[in-house]
Every structure is written in C-alpha cells, then in structure tokens.
C-alpha cells in the first residue's frame, strides 16, 4: 500500500472525488506510472454500477467498493476459474511465441492436421520421434527456407509478382484467384509458414489476402467454403451466445474482427459471405502488427441478408431471411458483444463493414465502455487525415495548412462521414473554429451535395452536422458543378459506386490547383472512383494520388509518379496493437488522431518527392510499431495506459517503448514443440 498521490476530480473523469491512490498496490511516482494508476482506478470505477456509485458517494471506502466491484466482476467472468478445465476439455496447445516453445496435448497425425503447430516437412527428427509423427512424413527434413522457396515457386508459377491491376480490368485476375487459393491452402495447413511468406512479401501478397482479391473471395465465399475458420453468431443463436463463445478453443483472444456482412467493401450486402473480410483483416493483424495468430478471432453475425440473389442461391450458407432491423437487430449484437467480452474481457473488438444505418449507432453504443473501434469510420479517418498531411508535405506546406484546405468528400456513409469529422477535428486542432472547419468541407452522396435544405428523414445526424448552410448552395448539386464553384484543393471518394471522378472532374481539379489532391478511396479496385493513370492523365501529371486498392505507379512525361494506397491497413493493425498492449479500456478520438499524426513522420523526403503520401508498405511492422507507440502515448496523456509494463517502458523513453512493443509481437518462426504428458498442468 502506498503512494501518497491524490487524484483530482477532473483526472478521474469526475467520477469519484479526490480518491486517495493508496488503494493501489504499488508506490508509483513517475508520471507515466501515475497515469497507469489513474487509468486503473478509472477503469475499475467505470465498471461500477449506479448502485456502487451510490456506495462510494455514501462514504463507503473506495477500497471496499473496488474490491466488491472486482468480486462482482469476477463472478461474471469465470474464465480464470475454468481455464484448466477448458484446456483439458479442448486438448489444447498453449504457445509462448516469444520464448519459442509450445505445449501440446495432442500427438501424431493430429499435430500434422493442426495448422497452428504443424511444420510439415520441416519437423526435425527429434520432434518426429517425441511427437509420434515419425513415418508420417517424407524422410527428408526440409529447412524452413527450402519450404518457402518451394511454395514461392508454385506461387509465382513462372511469372514475376503481379502488378496491381488497372481499374479497367475490374480488379481481380485469374492470377490473383490462383494465388488466393494457394495462400488459403497454406494457411489451412501451416500458419507459421503462411505468415512468414505473407510478412516477407507483404506488398504483393496484401493484394491477395486483402483488397482487391478478398472482395472476390467474399462474393464467392459460399462456393469456396472448405474448412471452418472463425465463428458464426446468428439470430437463431439468441440466448445461447455466452455459452457458444466457449466453443472457441483458445482461452486467450486478443483481437476480434466482426462484421454483419451488410456492406462488404463497395460490394454491398453479402451476408455471411462477409466473413472473408474479418479473416483478411486479421491476417493483417498478425503480419502487420504481430498479433499472435492463436489469439485472433474472425466473426460474422448472421441476421439474414437483403441480397436476394444470395438468399435464393441454394449454396448460400447463412440465414435465408431478410435482415433483422431495429431493436431486434441491436439485441443480437448486444448479446454477441456481452458474450465475447464476457469470455475475453481484455480483447480489442473491431467492427468492420457494417452498413451506414448501424455503423455509427453501434460504435456509439459500445465505445465508452469497451475496447472497440469501427475501422471504416475511425481507421479510415486516420488514414485519410495522414494522407492529407503527407500531401501537404509534398507541397512543402506545414501541418497547420490543413485549416486552409477546401475538401470535397464524395460518399456520406460510415467511411465518408468518419473522414469528414476527423478532417474537421484536425482543422480545429490547427487553429480553425469548428464553424470555419465545417465551412471548408463539402459532402455529397448519391443525391448530390448535402445541404441543410435536404429532407430531415434523408440524412442522419452525423451527416446533418456537415450539411451546407448557405442559401445559394444548391441542394443535390452535381459533383462537377460543386467542384467548379468551390474549387476544392482535395477530392476524396468513399462512395463505393465506381468511377465517379470522371475525366471532366479530374480536369477541373487540375485547372483549379497546381497540385490537386485526389484520393479515390473506395474498394475494391472495380469500385474506385478513378484509376491512377486517369488521375495523372487529366491533371497533366500533377495529381497527388492515393487510392483504397493498389494501383501501379504511373509513367508520365518521362517521370514515374507514385500511386499511394490510402487504405486503413496503415492504421488498424497498429491502433489495435497499441490499445491491446496498453490495455487502454476504450479507444478515444485522441488516440486515433495520434495514429494519423504519426504516419507522415515515416515518409522520407525522397519518397515525398516521388509523390508518396504514405510510408512504404514493405516497412509495415515498423509502421505498426510507430502507430501503436503513438496510440499508447496518447492513452497515457488521457490516463488510460493500464498496462504497468507499457507505462514503465514509456517512462524510459520512446525507443524503449518501441523495443518493448516489438518484443511483444509474434514473429512467424517454428517453435520447439513439447508434448505434455497427462496430468501435467501448463
Ligand atoms: N480505403 C479505405 O481504407 C476504405 C474504403 N472504404 C470504401 O468506401 C466505400 C464506402 O464505404 P461506407 O462509407 O462504409 O459505405 P456506406 O454504404 O456507409 O456509404 C456509401 C455512401 O456513398 C454514397 N453514394 C452511393 N452512390 C453514390 C453516387 N453515385 N454518388 C455519390 N455518392 C454515392 C451513399 O449515398 C452513401 O452516403 C466502400 O467502397 C468501401 O470499400 C471504406 C472504408 C475504408
Ligand atoms: C478497407 C476497408 O475497410 C473497406 O474498404 O471497407
Ligand atoms: Mg471496411
């Protein structure tokens, strides 16, 4: 017991007046550690029910209240007590990736069929002996490097890596499809090797496991389905979800990505086929941010689908009913969240590809209580803002020049409005008033420019906040007219409706700006607002360009102009890692803004000269560490850095924290396998 720090009312979020920190177990003097104390106290207090608050208010000591709260929480969270039982039941392995060993209860052929521990032909003789796989594999032991080159030979199949394809080609070629299947098969048999090749070839393979190819995989998921991966929680599981969560074989889950399949990339409602997206996102969690593949869980919530073609397809594997809406829908999602947070209270929950009717309401429902974020709203926003800062740097302008930009955002859905809000926040941070920030932003949707004169039932509150107010601004104005009238410096596309940035629009952007900023961010390639080639062609090679799906660099007038990739993959892996390692309790706007502000620092001057607004993707681990670090620092300032080890590392300096983060990451290499005899506890 110990330190004498006393928290202020403000620092405790006004929840508990001047609580003595002596209730915490350790004397912690340094600011980061103090932030840790504050964070813990706040976190525990946030779990108290109104009845507990009244106990605190009535003068019951905080210590008593906290311990009572923790006993109550423990009663609701039986994970720890049941852990050994579950291990026994599931015949599981636990893997210590950092110390490179794994404990197994299985043996023989079961090991070869378990992709989490299988090494295939790389099992050394000693392990073949002790794990009972001798004779089940060809005699020769292959070194991992040999396994990789064998796989890559097949993967490349006599060709070089494929270029990002042109938007006119529709985005996905037969080569993409073949490679997607090869990678899937590898993941299903040997995850270590899968992540090793993915990390080593991240730039090329992210086109395959992620956009654009993952879009094709989702469209065809019901035909491609072979093996179980992830979990399905459906409307018919109502009342059972807490128990179902225990069917997942891992006792520790650090990250869940969940979709309800209602808006998959720009491909619309794909129902349970949407599970391909959480799978692809989590592949990036592991490769890009070092999440442990044994502790990530892709999920689809099946509440039906409004995609009639899919519903009527005999191969469709979800509930063949129209989507649930309203209170019934929210009850299902509430139950799912309670189920997974009940079993894994420390996990980060990422909402992905929910349609605009539910994305914002769901985020607002959980964001103040749980470690959740919506990637399309928040990850995309941070990515777009980082790209704008990069574009300003290319023009030799400082960050504060954001407040002078005039920006058109096309698409007023979850992504478009997330981006609009965060740009406004960035402008305000750089000295604008909120009114001035709104004045610099024009939002259009499928009905044209959004103004205050639009019918109230045709826009949500989030959109209304950015509706144009001036009488002379025509409601529903066409994009080209808006561009010629307001002469925006930047044009951002998040409509998922294909080539809205026509040659006329691109030409106008080129006429109004020396360096027009053009970000067609919709996915997959077939839904992008324009190609890199067209952006450069119609602006005379002056566009600062970045797109949601990859595009090849453009040769124009003897120069090579980089085509950046404005995709939230720059943000969500590092953001989730920072929140998970810091155990920040919730994910705040300041943490997301910190991620956005961190990225431009990683673009070297020579890349800015080539027109690149983002860091190089072959540095993805470094990028994610940098983002995670920024997120944890922002969390510490807000008193939310709950992990003492992280707080201490931060206290010692940025480089120590960066090294510590790196040390927590999973590195895809084979671990020694230890078979636990019956009766031995892990
Ligand atoms: N690059 C990235 O990191 C990200 C890209 N996206 C992409 O953004 C797109 C939209 O995503 P959400 O906002 O979640 O979808 P959403 O369904 O919530 O919103 C779509 C918006 O686009 C508007 N729209 C549709 N047709 C239009 C047209 N012809 N002209 C102008 N506006 C039109 C709709 O009115 C709506 O406001 C998708 O293609 C998605 O893949 C989303 C998240 C991240
Ligand atoms: C990248 C992404 O999250 C999307 O297109 O929805
Ligand atoms: Mg998405």
pLDDT of 88 over the 80 cut: no
pTM: 0.87
**What tens digit of pLDDT does each residue of 643-664 get?**
999 999 999 999 999 999 999 9
Beta strands in 224-374 (DSSP E): 231-234, 255-259, 296-302, 348-351, 372-374
Band the pLDDT of 674: cuts 50, 70, 90: confident
CA-based nearest residue to 631, from 620, 622, 640:
640
The CA-based dihedral angle spanning residues 220, 226, 228, 234, taken in that order and rounded to the nearest 10 degrees: 40
Mutate to test the pocket of ligand 2, among 548, 550, 570 (most ligand atoms within 8 A of CB): 548
Quickly state the pLDDT bin for 158 (edges 50, 70, 90): low
Looking at 119, 281, 438, 537, which residue is catalytic? 281
Annotated binding site: 263, 352-353, 376, 523, 567
Instruction: Give the tens place of pLDDT for each residue, 358-404.
Output: 999 999 999 999 999 999 999 999 999 999 999 999 999 999 999 99
The band of 6, judged by pLDDT with boundaries at 50, 70 and 90, is very low
410 lines ligand 1 (CB under 6 A): yes
pLDDT single digits (tens) 243-257: 999 999 999 999 999
**Chain segment 36-75, per-residue pLDDT in tens:** 555 555 555 555 444 444 333 333 333 333 334 433 443 4
- Residue 377 has a pLDDT of 98
Q: Name the 3-class secondary structure at 407.
A: strand
The pocket of ion ligand 3, defined by CB under 5 A, consists of 353, 376
Whether ipTM exceeds 0.85:
yes
* Run of H or E including 357: helix 356-366
Asked if pLDDT for residue 682 goes beyond 90, the answer is no
Q: Which domains does the chain have, with CATH numbers?
A: 16-105 (no CATH), 144-370 (3.40.50.10380), 378-568 (3.40.50.720), 572-605+619-664 (no CATH)
Can you give the pLDDT at residue 322? 98
pLDDT reported for residue 101: 76
Q: What is the CA(444)–ligand 1 centre distance, in A?
A: 11
Question: Is 250:294 a contact under the CB 8 Å cutoff?
Answer: yes
- From 261, 267, 374, 375, the mutation candidate for ligand 2 (largest count of ligand atoms within 8 A of CB) is 375
Q: Which range is most confident: 44-58, 74-88, 630-644?
A: 630-644
C-beta of 568 in contact with ligand 1 (< 6 A): yes
Q: Provide the pLDDT for residue 171.
A: 72
Tokens of 249: 């074989």
Which tokens belong to 416?
């478009």
Question: 72 pairs with which residues across the strands?
Answer: none
pLDDT at 38: 56
Task: Indicate if ligand 1 lies below 6 Å from the C-beta of 376.
Answer: yes
Residue 526 beta carbon below 6 angstroms from any ligand 1 atom: no
pLDDT of 168 over the 80 cut: no
**Cβ atoms 409, 440 nearer than 8 A:** no
The pLDDT, as a whole number, for residue 163 is: 56
- 429 labelled catalytic: no
Mean pLDDT of 153-165: 71
Q: Among residues 155, 195, 210, 666, which one is catalytic? A: 210
- Kind and range of the H or E run holding 241: helix 241-244
Task: Report which of residues 19 and 121 the model is more confident about.
Answer: 121
What is the SS3 string spanning 147-207? Answer: HHHHHHHHHHCCCCCCCCCCHHHCCCCHHHHHHHHHHHHHHHHCHHHHHHHHHHCHHHHHH
pLDDT exceeds 80 at position 311: yes
157 is catalytic: no
Q: How far apart are CA 147 and CA 145, in angstroms?
A: 5
- Say which residues have a Cβ less than 8 Å from residue 28's Cβ, sequence separation at least 6: 3, 5, 34, 36, 37
Q: Which residues contact 659 (CB under 8 A, 6 or more apart)?
A: 649
Residues in binding site for a divalent metal cation = 352-353, 376
Per-residue pLDDT of 391-425, as tens digits, reads: 999 999 999 999 999 999 999 999 999 999 999 99
**What number is the average pLDDT over the span 539-544?**
98
Residue 131 is given by DSSP the state: T
- Model pLDDT, residue 371: 97
Do 521 and 535 form a contact (C-beta atoms < 8 A)?
A: no
For range 457-486, the mean pLDDT: 95
What band does 7 get if pLDDT is binned at 50, 70 and 90?
Answer: very low
Lowest-pLDDT range, 24-33, 101-110, 389-398, 421-430? 24-33
Ligand at shortest distance from the CA of 571: 1
Higher-pLDDT residue of 261 and 97 is 261
Ligand 2 centroid to Cα of residue 491, in Å, is 18
The number of the ligand 2 atom at minimal distance from the alpha carbon of 568 is 1
Percent of the chain surpassing pLDDT 70: 83
The minimum-distance atom of ligand 2 relative to the CA of 572 is 3
Report the distance separating Cα 329 and Cα 303, nearest Å.
Answer: 7
Ligand 1 atom nearest 356 alpha carbon: 18
pLDDT tens string 604-620: 999 999 999 999 999 99
- Whole-angstrom CA distances from 429 to 378, 401, 403, 599 are 17, 11, 9, 17
């Amino acid at each position: 017991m110990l330190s004498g720090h006393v928290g202020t009312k403000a620092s405790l979020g006004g929840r508990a007046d001047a609580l003595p920190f002596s209730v915490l177990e350790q004397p912690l003097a340094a600011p980061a550690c103090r932030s840790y104390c504050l964070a813990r106290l706040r976190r525990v207090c946030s779990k108290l029910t109104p009845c507990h608050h009244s106990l605190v208010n009535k003068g019951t000591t905080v210590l008593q209240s906290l311990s009572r709260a923790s006993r109550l929480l423990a009663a609701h969270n039986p994970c720890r007590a049941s852990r050994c039982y579950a291990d026994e039941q599931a015949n599981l392995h636990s893997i210590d990736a950092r110390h490179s060993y794994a404990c197994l209860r299985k043996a023989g052929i079961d090991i070869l069929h378990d992709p989490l521990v299988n090494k295939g032909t790389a099992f050394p003789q000693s392990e073949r002996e002790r794990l009972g796989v001798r004779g089940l594999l060809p005699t020769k032991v292959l070194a991992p490097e040999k396994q990789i080159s064998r796989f890559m030979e097949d993967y490349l199949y006599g060709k070089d890596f494929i270029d990002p394809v042109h938007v006119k080609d529709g985005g996905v070629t037969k080569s993409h499809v073949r490679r997607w299947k090869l990678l899937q098969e590898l993941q299903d048999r040997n995850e270590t090797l899968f992540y090793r090749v993915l990390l080593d070839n991240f730039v090329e393979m992210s086109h395959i496991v992620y956009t654009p190819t993952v879009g094709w995989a989702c469209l065809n998921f019901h035909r491609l389905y072979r093996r179980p991966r992830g979990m399905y929680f459906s409307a018919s599981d109502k009342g059972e979800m807490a128990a179902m969560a225990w069917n997942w074989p891992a006792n520790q889950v650090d990250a869940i990505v969940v979709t309800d399949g209602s808006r998959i990339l720009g491909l619309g409602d794909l129902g349970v086929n949407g599970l391909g997206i959480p799978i692809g996102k989590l592949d990036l969690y592991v490769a890009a941010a070092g999440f442990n593949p044994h502790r990530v869980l892709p999920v689809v919530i099946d509440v039906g689908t409004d995609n009639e073609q899919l519903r009527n397809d005999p191969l469709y594997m979800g509930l063949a009913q129209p989507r649930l809406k309203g209170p019934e829908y929210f009850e299902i999602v509430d139950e799912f969240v309670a189920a997974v947070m009940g079993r894994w209270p420390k996990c980060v929950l990422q909402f992905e590809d929910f349609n605009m009717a539910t994305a914002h309401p769901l985020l607002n429902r959980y964001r103040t209580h749980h470690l959740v974020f919506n990637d399309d709203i928040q990850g995309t926003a941070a990515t777009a803002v980082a790209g704008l800062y990069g574009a300003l740097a290319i023009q030799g302008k400082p960050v504060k020049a954001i407040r002078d930009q005039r920006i058109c955002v096309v698409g007023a859905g979850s992504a478009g409005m997330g981006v609009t809000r965060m740009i406004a926040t960035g402008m305000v941070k750089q000295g604008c008033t909120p009114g001035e920030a709104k004045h610099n932003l024009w939002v259009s949707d499928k009905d044209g420019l959004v103004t205050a004169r639009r019918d109230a039932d045709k826009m949500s509150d989030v959109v209304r906040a950015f509706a144009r107010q001036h009488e002379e601004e025509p409601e529903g104005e066409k994009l080209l007219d808006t561009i010629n009238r307001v002469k925006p410096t930047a044009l951002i596309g998040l409509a998922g409706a294909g080539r809205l940035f026509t040659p006329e629009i691109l030409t106008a952007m080129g006429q109004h700006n020396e360096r027009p900023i053009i970000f067609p961010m919709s996915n997959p390639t077939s839904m992008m607002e324009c190609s890199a080639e067209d952006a450069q062609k119609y602006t005379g090679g002056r566009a600062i360009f970045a797109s949601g799906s990859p595009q090849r660099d453009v040769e124009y007038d003897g120069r090579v102009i980089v085509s950046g990739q404005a995709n939230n993959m720059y943000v969500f892996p590092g953001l989730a890692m920072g929140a998970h390692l810091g155990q920040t309790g919730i994910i705040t706007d300041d943490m997301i803004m910190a991620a956005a502000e961190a990225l431009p620092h990683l673009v070297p001057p020579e890349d800015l000269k080539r027109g690149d607004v983002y860091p190089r993707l072959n540095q993805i681990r470094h990028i994610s560490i940098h983002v995670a670090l920024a997120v944890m620092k922002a969390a510490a300032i807000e008193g939310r850095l709950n992990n003492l080890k992280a707080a201490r590392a931060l206290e010692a300096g940025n480089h120590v924290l960066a090294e510590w983060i790196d040390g927590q990451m999973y590195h895809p290499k084979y671990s020694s396998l230890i078979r636990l005899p019956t009766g031995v506890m892990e």
